[in-house]
């Protein structure tokens, strides 16, 4: 499968011309999906250009030395400096998923976590409304320490919503499945069952949208495989961003997604006070990206049929007066400065698109690649990345 700029532009025009695609709420027969797969990699919680795409200071050698020769690098992508736009992880993720800024409402906050609810359709909803694709083939892979982002799988726009949601893979979801399974089987003493019920209630309190715990049978089968492989102790399975890489690889093997977003998060552990938490996390993500691309390259059904879009959720401040200089909550210029990398069939290799590009362009570009139009997205589709 090979895309080029002409096919990309023609696909955008075809998607825009679909009758009723924008406003109709009537049921429609969606066609099967036969286009390229897309894997979006959120390279963050929050990274600066200096430590990722700058020679001599990068902690991502595979990204900088190898992928840039296979891809279009967009070094001057930015998060728009608009009133009310925060440079943070949840907000940046929703910028990517919806193609809009401030496309969310606050569903309540607990401790330091804002519970945001998308008010515009996500890429998953656009995709599944346009094509006959089951939810387990439109996947959000999320970190266990940011459960509030479990619920970005659908918005509340009147033409889309939960019927077109994505499924979510995370250790949080695995723990939910494991507790529900054990309680349904009734295996254990009464004190053990009581402890499991309490643990389940504690986990379910994170579900501020009331989405429910049930997942597709294909995902439940994968969780059973995961448990069979890693066991029950929680001591053998990978954690943090290493777990996200492993979950994504298992998804490619057992679920065969067409659209998948992986929300890497470990650079944000720099808030614990040690700068090496940030730099090591960048290297860990870089190794995860290398593994993912290796798996795709070795799979006949994904090789030459998969577009990768790699983009941070936000940048970071560079304030030498702070005890931890890598923050992102002060709205500084470097917190708005990010980048993107796009690679896949029909995309230019070794090209640098060195002009200002907005983060909101990601959604429109993914839609153009896959043949649907995110009609509520504000950004423009980047046809310059194609040959």
**Residue found by looking up tokens 């959120």 in the block:** 42
Can you tell me which residue has the tokens 């808030």? Answer: 271
**CA neighbours within 13 Å on the CB side: how many for 196?**
19
- What pLDDT is stored for residue 20 in this prediction? 40
pLDDT of residue 25: 45
CB-count burial class (<10 Å; 0-12, 13-18, 19+) for 292: buried
Measured CA to CA in angstroms, residue 385 lies from 43, 78, 108, 143, 353 at distances of: 19, 17, 39, 30, 8
Q: Give 10-residue mean pLDDT values along the chain (387 residues).
A: 74 62 56 97 94 97 98 97 89 96 81 78 96 97 88 89 93 93 91 94 85 86 96 86 98 98 93 85 98 98 97 87 72 91 97 96 97 95 94
Cis peptide before 308 (omega within 30 of 0): no
Pull the structure tokens for residue 299: 């799979």
pLDDT value for 93 = 95
Q: What is the pLDDT of residue 50?
A: 94
The three-class DSSP label of residue 306 is: strand
Domains and CATH numbers, the chain: 5-21+34-385 (3.40.720.10)
């Amino acid at each position: 499968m090979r895309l080029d700029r002409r096919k990309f532009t023609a696909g955008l025009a075809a998607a825009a011309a679909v009758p009723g695609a924008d406003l109709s709420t009537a049921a429609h027969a969606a066609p099967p999906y036969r286009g390229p797969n897309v894997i979006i990699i959120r390279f963050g919680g929050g990274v600066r250009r200096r430590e990722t795409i700058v020679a001599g200071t990068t902690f991502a050698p595979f990204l900088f030395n190898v992928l840039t020769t296979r891809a279009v690098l967009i070094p001057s992508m930015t998060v728009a400096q608009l009133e009310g736009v925060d440079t943070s992880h949840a907000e940046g993720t929703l910028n990517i998923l919806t193609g809009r800024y401030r496309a969310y409402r606050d569903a309540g906050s607990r401790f330091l976590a804002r519970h945001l609810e998308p008010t515009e359709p996500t890429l998953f909803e656009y995709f599944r409304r346009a094509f006959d694709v089951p939810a387990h083939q439109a996947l959000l892979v999320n970190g266990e320490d940011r459960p509030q982002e479990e619920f970005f799988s659908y918005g509340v726009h009147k033409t889309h919503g939960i019927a077109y949601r994505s499924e979510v893979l995370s250790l949080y979801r695995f723990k939910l499945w494991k507790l529900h399974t054990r309680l349904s089987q009734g295996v254990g003493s009464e004190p053990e069952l009581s402890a499991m019920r309490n643990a389940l209630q504690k986990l379910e309190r994170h579900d501020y949208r009331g989405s429910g715990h049930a997942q597709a049978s294909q995902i439940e089968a994968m969780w059973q495989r995961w448990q069979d492989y890693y066991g029950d102790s929680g001591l053998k399975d990978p954690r943090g961003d290493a777990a996200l890489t492993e979950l994504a690889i298992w998804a490619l093997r057992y679920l065969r997604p067409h659209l998948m977003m992986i929300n890497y998060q470990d650079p944000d552990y720099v808030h614990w006070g040690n700068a090496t938490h940030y730099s090591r996390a960048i290297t860990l993500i870089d190794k995860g990206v290398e593994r993912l691309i290796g798996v795709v390259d070795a799979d006949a059904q994904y090789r030459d049929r998969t577009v990768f879009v790699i983009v941070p959720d936000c940048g970071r401040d560079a304030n030498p007066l702070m005890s931890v200089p890598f923050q992102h909550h002060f709205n500084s210029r470097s917190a708005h400065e990010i980048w993107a990398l796009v690679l896949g069939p029909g995309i230019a290799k070794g090209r640098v698109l060195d002009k200002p590009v907005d983060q909101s362009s990601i959604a429109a570009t993914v839609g153009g690649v896959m043949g649907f139009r995110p009609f509520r997205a504000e950004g423009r589709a980047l046809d310059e990345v194609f040959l």
